[in-house]
Amino acid sequence: MATKAFAPAKINLTLHVTGQRADGYHLLDSLVVFADVGDTLEFTQRPVLSMSVTGEHAAGVPTDNRNLVWKAAEAAGWTGHIVLNKMLPHGGGIGGGSSDAAATLRMAADQGVSVGQDAALSLGADVPVCVLAQATRMRGIGEQLTPLSLPSLPALLVNPGVEVPTGAVFSALDSRSNPAMPEGIPVFETPEECAAWLQDQGNDLEPPTTGLAPEVARVLDELASTKQALLARMSGSGSTCFALYPTMKDAHFAAYEIGAAHPDWWCRATQLN
Tens-place pLDDT, residues 62-73: 999 999 999 999
Residue 91 to residue 203: CA distance in whole angstroms: 17
**Backbone region of residue 31 per phi and psi (left: phi > 0; alpha: psi in -120 to 50; beta: other values):** beta
List, for residues 14-66, the tens digit of each pLDDT value. Answer: 999 999 999 988 999 999 999 999 999 999 999 999 999 999 999 999 999 99
73 CB contacts (<8 Å, ≥6 apart)? Answer: 49, 79, 80, 82, 104, 108
Q: Does domain 153-272 have CATH number 3.30.70.890?
A: yes
The CATH architecture annotation of domain 3-147 reads 2-Layer Sandwich (3.30)
List, for residues 193-247, the tens digit of each pLDDT value. Answer: 999 999 999 999 999 999 999 999 999 999 999 999 999 999 999 899 999 999 9
Check: CB of residue 234 under 8 Å from CB of residue 257.
no
In the chain, domain spans: 3-147, 153-272
Catalytic residues, by residue number, are: 10, 126
